[in-house]
Chains A and B, each alone.
Chain A
Amino acid sequence: MVVDLIDVTPFLTWLFGPGWTEGFLFHTLPLSVFLLVMLGGLVWLVRAIRAKEGLTSPTVGVWISVTLTAAILVLLIGLTVWKSLPAETTASISAKFVQPLGWLLGNQWYAGAAYQWLKTAIGATGLVFATALLILALRRGPREAFVVTGQSLGDTVLDVLRMSPRRVAALALLAVKESIRRRVVVVFALFILLLLFAGWYLDPQSVDPARLYLDFVLTATTYLVLLLALFISALSLPADIKNRTLYTIVTKPVRTSEIILGRILGFLTVATVLLVAMGGISYLFVLRGLAHEHELTADLLQPAEGTKAEKDAKQIALRGATSRVHHHRHKVTITPDASGAGIVERETQPEQGHVHPIKVRTEGNQTAYEIGREQGMLLARVPVYGKLSFRDRTGQPTEKGISVGDEWTYRSYIEGGTLAAAVWSFEGLRSEDFPEHLPVELSIEIFRTYKGNIEKGILGSLSVRNPKTGKKVEVRFFEGKEFVIDVQQIPRRLSTPDGKTVDLFKDMVDEGKLEVWLQCAEPMQYFGVAQGDLYLRARDASFFLNFVKGYVGIWLQTAIVIALGVLFSTFLSAPVAVLATLGAIFGGFFSDFMYRLATGKTYGGGPFESIIRLVTQANVTSELEPGLRTNVAKTLDQIVEFGMRLLASVLPDFSRFNFAEFVASGFNIPGDTLMAYTCRTLGFVIPIFVAAYLCLKNREVAQ
């Protein structure tokens, strides 16, 4: 379970690129030594600096400034020269440069997040330094600017390293007390109230009530906690400055870094406690809201039609449906076993995404049916995804299927009754993972060119193919339905049309590789598919853990919001800080859209071009008339787009931190995704912390 939660392998791949396993550093011994040396060095450095008193001297300040300036100049000149070199030269140089590191870090270390992070950190430091130097040079002259900038950079490092845990804890505790005083509990009461009345507007007849319930509790929790985090973090510091309580804090030996960190940690504690409480209650709410049992009595069952011989042998199946509970009933088929004496224990037919186990008890002439509690409602499926490719109607490989004119280009379509197919190639399949059969789940979209029998689905077929030998076996025909997850099972033993049986893993899987083909069987009808639409359901993870992971996602978002709130409150007044944080959150939610807009991936151009289109009532896809007006608009747009691109790359992309969709639709949140986003959160919080530190440090508290 722990291994599932923290899956190290994909995480390291994310961090150091796919080739990390080949790096010398990642063998157990060198890695332990490396980590120990790093840790020891860090401890030594911190202790050495904490033992020393005083601030950065002017001499050291000058040294820092000179070194940094030189580094920036070398980097800038180097980059300029690099870009002007011919491609072959740069390739050979980079090969020379990359290979020795490849021995240590794996051959694709530059593709990993660690390198990107390092690059960003160096860039950000350089930018901050250059900006500070420029501003100070304009205000106090270049000589003093050099000394002061270097000194304050040195002081920043000293300040952070000299933080006292006791002071940080005291300030965090104060933040907690302040939040309690601001009646955080009200938010919790509001949440309970929301749950109490939730029954009124959660549609009980929904196809997937689990999804509805989970979606509701996760969304409600996210918005409430994020709003709360926003207010408590953005209002605190301005209130302290206004009440001048900050005077009595900063005249104690309290470092600016401690004030910022204490606050972030304190508010995070409040949010954590609140999230745990809300999560616990939500979990019970979902469990209780979905729990139900049906009844099945003999009079609800009818014998199915059968031959006379079967009737005599009492081998007729009984068909019917359970009692109606929670606005649905399950169809049941009860088949007597071969002897006719007992009855096979079975499950009900699925309805609203779940089944119930049936137990049959026969005492003399009386038969009693016991229907158990719902099963399979709350899931955490662990899907194995394949790579999707297409075959056109003549069976030739093609990059994409057919477009049916859908604006949303997520799915691509295959034509029915032809050789067109969607092919998913899977890798790394092991027979011991699938002892009985290969469970395949698919959800497709159907595009009908004629109505046909609308009650019935469109027929499709599923086949498997050995990618090496090219041997292809049809598994089964099925009725394709929309908007539901269709569960198909590929048995271990398959029968070919010529009457032979083949073993799935022996004959069809080659070195763990297998292709699954989907074809539409009805002419003039189309199946729409995307890569994520068909997957192998390897196993189920614990739903509870998945639920917890969903809340961890909310927690990560909260951490960013709190950090942002504290940052803005260091230099803005309370209402403005709230608005700025809110703006950053909204911007973050739409940063994806902003990026697409800024890079010209949306129709209609930037704001100025759009205005022209609005006024002239031009279609978003039509070309604008060339001329001065269009040129001016496009140039202005380019300036705006540059700003938007900058903003979009700086703002946290909240929409991607939202794991609610995973939990609600019953998919396991992959451990490495969670780790990656934890790192991402740190990647946001650390620079925000530094920015907040610099803002507060250089602010006159008493003005």
Chain B
Amino acid sequence: MQSDVIIETRNLTKVYRDFWGRKKVHALKALDLEVRRGEIFGLLGPNGSGKTTTIKLILGLLFPTAGQALVFDRDASDVSKNERIGYLPEESYLYKFLNAEETLDFYGRLFDIPRAVRRQRVADLIEMVGLNWAKRRQLKEYSKGMTRRIGLAQALINDPELIVLDEPTSGLDPMGTREMKDLILKLREEGKTVLMCSHLLADVQDVCDRIAILYQGELKEMGRVDSLLKVRDVTEIRASGLSAVAQEEIRQAIERHQGQVLSLDNPVTTLEDLFVNIIRESEEHPGRRVRGVSQK
């Protein structure tokens, strides 16, 4: 029986030193983390807070100054753990002279996947990330969004149990962001574990089950997103079809119970929702969109 803890860090510490061994940055201070099977775990923090350092330590790209990072109960320096990991780096660091098919085939070989399986999986993944039309083009001709997609495809080539995503939505347009988030949620449905880091709070809020907030290399907060964000002393009421009179009545009712009305207003949708709606609408009804465009 496999343990339910996929990633465990114990007292994980990283100090960057310069050439002479002098201390430069204390990037990570004694981090203790646990990521469990089947959850989406988000590392949150401003730039330079130690998110990426943590991920690199977990992947064995850096060696810890002290402490230990365990993945699937193996030390991070053991390459065999990589069999079950998919990693999407911050920017997709791929070979620009290969095309999409060659890229995926190459990474497939690195997993020692037999030829027939490899071919099938490469075709499926290119289909999934929607790059079928560009699979023969060298990556240097790709746009940022396309590079990101092929990067994601290479991270999934081995059908990994753990997916590590470093700033998964950076550089993506709103549609791409939404697709990425949907995909992450889909991966969870398939029973995979996701570790992601981001400084885009909205993204983290939308997909993560649990988050850890880092600041200057220290763990400041960790827990379930819904419980962390729940504001316990505020009640939200949402209703439709209320007249102004009815609204006034409700306001009075609240005041009668010694409550304080914070706001009573028509809600505003998020820009992301608006944007996504417009795009979806345009795809369904191509042509010039009249409504919403200001008339001069």
A residues with a Cβ closer than 8 A to B are 53-55, 164, 166-167, 169-171, 173-174, 177-178, 181, 243-255, 700-703
The answer to whether A245 and B94 touch across the interface, beta carbons within 8 angstroms, is yes
Question: At the interface, yes or no: B89 with Cβ under 8 Å from chain A?
Answer: yes
Given A174-B106, A251-B85, A702-B61, answer yes or no on A53-B80 (Cβ-Cβ < 8 Å).
yes
* Cα distance A253–B77 in the bound complex, in angstroms: 11
Query: How near does chain B come to A160, taking the closest CB pair, in angstroms?
Result: 13
Question: At the interface, yes or no: B95 with Cβ under 8 Å from chain A?
Answer: yes
* Residues of chain B lying within 8 A (CB to CB) of residue A178: 95, 97
The answer to whether B78 and A243 touch across the interface, beta carbons within 8 angstroms, is no
* Cα distance A245–B147 in the bound complex, in angstroms: 13
The answer to whether A250 and B61 touch across the interface, beta carbons within 8 angstroms, is yes
Interface bracket on B: 20 to 34
3 closest residue pairs by CB, A with B: A170-B109, A702-B61, A244-B93
Choice from A247, A254, A700 contacting B79 with Cβ under 8 Å: A254
* Cα distance A181–B98 in the bound complex, in angstroms: 10
21 contacts between A and B (CB under 8 A): A54-B80, A173-B106, A174-B95, A177-B95, A177-B97, A178-B95, A178-B97, A245-B93, A247-B61, A247-B87, A248-B92, A248-B107, A249-B110, A250-B61, A251-B87, A252-B111, A253-B79, A253-B112, A254-B79, A254-B82, A700-B61
New contact pairs (20) apart from A166-B112, A254-B110, CB-CB < 8 Å: A164-B112, A166-B109, A167-B109, A167-B112, A173-B106, A174-B106, A177-B97, A178-B95, A178-B97, A244-B93, A247-B93, A248-B89, A248-B92, A250-B60, A251-B61, A252-B107, A252-B158, A253-B79, A253-B112, A701-B62
Please indicate which of the listed interface residues B62, B75, B79 has the most CB atoms of chain A within 10 Å of its own CB: B79
Choice from B82, B91, B95 contacting A252 with Cβ under 8 Å: B82
The answer to whether A170 and B83 touch across the interface, beta carbons within 8 angstroms, is no
* Cα distance A181–B85 in the bound complex, in angstroms: 30
* Residues of chain A lying within 8 A (CB to CB) of residue B92: 248
The answer to whether B83 and A253 touch across the interface, beta carbons within 8 angstroms, is yes
* Cα distance A315–B60 in the bound complex, in angstroms: 94
Choice from B63, B89, B106 contacting A700 with Cβ under 8 Å: B63
Question: At the interface, yes or no: B49 with Cβ under 8 Å from chain A?
Answer: no
The answer to whether A253 and B61 touch across the interface, beta carbons within 8 angstroms, is no
Q: In the complex, what residue of chain B is closest to A701 when comparing beta carbons?
A: B61
Question: At the interface, yes or no: B154 with Cβ under 8 Å from chain A?
Answer: yes
* Residues of chain B lying within 8 A (CB to CB) of residue A170: 106, 109-110
* Cα distance A251–B76 in the bound complex, in angstroms: 10
The answer to whether B78 and A177 touch across the interface, beta carbons within 8 angstroms, is no
* Cα distance A167–B95 in the bound complex, in angstroms: 16
The answer to whether B87 and A248 touch across the interface, beta carbons within 8 angstroms, is yes
* Cα distance A173–B59 in the bound complex, in angstroms: 25
Question: At the interface, yes or no: B56 with Cβ under 8 Å from chain A?
Answer: yes
* Cα distance A170–B105 in the bound complex, in angstroms: 9
The answer to whether A702 and B82 touch across the interface, beta carbons within 8 angstroms, is no
Please indicate which of the listed interface residues B75, B94, B95, B107 has the most CB atoms of chain A within 10 Å of its own CB: B95
* Residues of chain A lying within 8 A (CB to CB) of residue B111: 252-253
Given A700-B61, A700-B62, answer yes or no on A177-B98 (Cβ-Cβ < 8 Å).
yes
The answer to whether A702 and B80 touch across the interface, beta carbons within 8 angstroms, is no
Please indicate which of the listed interface residues B61, B83, B97 has the most CB atoms of chain A within 10 Å of its own CB: B61
Please indicate which of the listed interface residues A53, A171, A701 has the most CB atoms of chain B within 10 Å of its own CB: A701
The answer to whether B93 and A55 touch across the interface, beta carbons within 8 angstroms, is no
Interface string of B44-84 (1 = CB under 8 A from A): 00000000000010011111000000000011011110110
The answer to whether B80 and A253 touch across the interface, beta carbons within 8 angstroms, is yes
* Cα distance A7–B152 in the bound complex, in angstroms: 56
Query: How near does chain B come to A396, taking the closest CB pair, in angstroms?
Result: 69
Please indicate which of the listed interface residues A167, A248, A255, A701 has the most CB atoms of chain B within 10 Å of its own CB: A248
* Residues of chain A lying within 8 A (CB to CB) of residue B275: none
Q: In the complex, what residue of chain B is closest to A258 when comparing beta carbons?
A: B110
* Residues of chain B lying within 8 A (CB to CB) of residue A164: 112
* Residues of chain A lying within 8 A (CB to CB) of residue B87: 247-248, 251
Q: In the complex, what residue of chain A is closest to B157 when comparing beta carbons?
A: A252
* Residues of chain B lying within 8 A (CB to CB) of residue A255: 79
